[in-house]
Amino acid sequence: MSERTLDHVSEAVRDRLSRVEDPELPVTIADLGMLKELKVVDDEAGRARVHVSLVPTFLGCPAQFIIEASVREAALTCPGVDDVEVAWLDAAAWSLDDVTPAARRQLADVGIAVPNADGQLSCPNCRVGNVVIDSEFGGTLCRRLGHCDACGDSIEVMKAANPGDWAPGLAGSLPLVLEPNGRSSEEDSSERR
Amino acid sequence: MTATEMPSAVTSLPSGERQLAIKLADEQLLTGHVLTAVSGWGPEIEINLALSSIGQDELGHARMLYRLAVGEDRTAINDLVYTRQAGEFQAAPITAVYTEDWERLIVKEYLFDTADRARSELLANHPLFASALDKMKDEEIYHLDFWTAWLRRTAQGAGHDAVQEALDELWPLTPALFDLPGIDGAADAEARWREDAHAELASMSITPRTDALAYDATDDLTKILSELHAVYDQAPGNW
């Protein structure tokens, strides 16, 4: 396979994989920050072999099997690709910082808030109030439950896989209010208890 | 990835380390299975979401640790999970405790998760376990927060005596959590953990005792394995 052909195949694979969607959220796995490495190599028999490394959001996420199958299937639809190897980087950190602005907008459109680095967690529905966390556990491992303090709507909030970095010293408070600026809001949580 | 493509780091894993990874994985598997099995029994939906989420997290931690032990070979992982009999599981018996009793469940989870955090800190520089346990420890922050808050809330309320009774029968099962062959400092880590647990439990007016009759989890392990193996036994394959 010539270098130019390999480049074409690589580009096609990159483009195709960038469109693989998460089965539980209406965004791509690339925009969620799960697509870590992509390597396309010549297998010396005139075909291309694809190596993909993925980062799990939470280690127990059951969607991993579907994502892996989708990635494999997507890569195999690209002409010239013969073989796909998918590896999960269990130990690699996944952070809310890895979620792209595009994904944040798309998630807000379906009522899912993603905390950002400046500590703001505004309501994705009314866009006026702030989201108050009601439970650290939600419908999927990467989500938690909250509500808006202005419109009262129930809001799902993306959950940090590294809460220690986002809010050290949160143990003991229930429900939790996580603030990404490194402190937990004790007053808010005690008021609701 | 097939078995023949297993990274050399895995194929050359010393058998002691492999056994330890399997023991740690077994403990996460049993704990996770019980939590997912009892989710639905909680008094409100948020509790049930927590039980199923924490259970799923633990099953994910088990998968990661089995991968450390045998690599990406899914047949090997399936064999470990679905074909071994009770006597072949290396888990500390406390992880097999299968209970409908809320106080017993929160005491079990509090003891297991706090001891597991102490073990993760002990293994923080271990070449095989360090980075994987680091990610696991982050997720466990949510679990510890949940169990500790509920233990405190229950022990300081009407559930005080039931919490003390549960602790009486589960505390004697904890030494096996620190049975970590080949790991230096396990005894010291256990002593520190006991000291911390004593202090935290004392703040809830709960006292660990060593003279009570220990819970017998033998039948619980049999029950877990019969549930875990039920589908696989009828339709073997890669689950």
Mean pLDDT for chain A overall: 84
A138 has a chain B CB within 8 A of its CB: yes
Q: Residue A119: its pLDDT value, please?
A: 61
Nearest by CB to B136, from A59, A139, A163: name it: A59
Bridge partners of residue A145, in order along the sequence: A135, A156
Q: Residue B239: its pLDDT value, please?
A: 59
* Residue (of B100, B97, B94, B101) closest to B116 by Cα position: B94
Q: Which residue of B has its CA nearest to A84?
A: B1
Q: Residue B235: its pLDDT value, please?
A: 87
Would you tell me how many other CB atoms lie within 10 Å of the CB of residue A39? 12
DSSP-assigned letter for residue B93 = G
A134 has a chain B CB within 8 A of its CB: yes
What the block records as the tokens of B99 is 């209970």
What the block records as the tokens of A96 is 């809310």
Distance CA B123, CA B96 (A): 23
Contact B64 A90 (CB under 8 A): yes
pLDDT in tens, A99-119: 999 999 999 999 999 987 766
Q: Which residues on A lie below 8 Å from B136 (Cβ)?
A: 59
Least confident of A43-47, A82-86, A144-148, B79-83: A43-47
* Residue (of A47, A49, A46, A50) closest to A35 by Cα position: A50
What is the ipTM score, two decimals?
0.86
Q: How large a percentage of chain B has pLDDT more than 70? A: 94
Say whether B157 sits in a helix, a strand or coil.
coil
Q: Which residues on A lie below 8 Å from B54 (Cβ)?
A: 137
Which run of H or of E encompasses A174? none
Instruction: Label residue A163 by pLDDT band (50, 70, 90).
Output: confident
B168 exposure class (CB count in 10 Å sphere: 0-12, 13-18, 19+)? buried
Q: Is the pLDDT of residue A51 over 50?
A: yes
What is the block-wise mean pLDDT of chain B (239 residues), using blocks of 10 residues?
Answer: 42 85 98 96 86 97 95 89 95 96 96 97 94 91 92 93 98 97 96 98 94 95 97 81
A44 has a chain B CB within 8 A of its CB: no
Q: Is the pLDDT of residue A178 over 70?
A: no
Size of interface A-B (CB pairs under 8 A): 91
Q: Residue A183: its pLDDT value, please?
A: 39
Which of A183 and B189 is assigned the larger pLDDT? B189
Nearest by CB to B145, from A59, A139, A176: name it: A176
* Alpha-carbon distances of A156 from A137, A142, A149, rounded to whole Å: 10, 10, 14
Distance CA B204, CA B152 (A): 6
The arithmetic mean of pLDDT across residues A136-158, rounded, is: 92
* Alpha-carbon distances of B2 from B36, B74, B84, B226, rounded to whole Å: 30, 8, 22, 29
Q: Which residues on A lie below 8 Å from B1 (Cβ)?
A: 85, 87
Contact A62 B56 (CB under 8 A): yes
Which residue of B29, B68, B142 is the best one to mutate when testing the A interface, meaning the one whose CB has the most A CBs within 10 A? B142
What the block records as the tokens of B43 is 């008094």
Would you tell me how many other CB atoms lie within 10 Å of the CB of residue B149? 18
- Write the DSSP string, B214-231: PP--HHHHHHHHHHHHHH
Amino acid at B126: H
Contact A137 B134 (CB under 8 A): no
Residues A174 and B146: beta-carbon distance below 8 Å: yes
Say whether B15 sits in a helix, a strand or coil.
helix
* Residue (of A123, A179, A119, A177) closest to A152 by Cα position: A123
E strand spans, B42-97: none
What the block records as the tokens of B74 is 């899914």
Instruction: Label residue A134 by pLDDT band (50, 70, 90).
Output: confident
* Residue (of B76, B106, B92) closest to B29 by Cα position: B92
The arithmetic mean of pLDDT across residues A7-30, rounded, is: 95
The model's pTM: 0.89
Residue A56, preceding peptide bond in cis (omega within 30° of 0): no
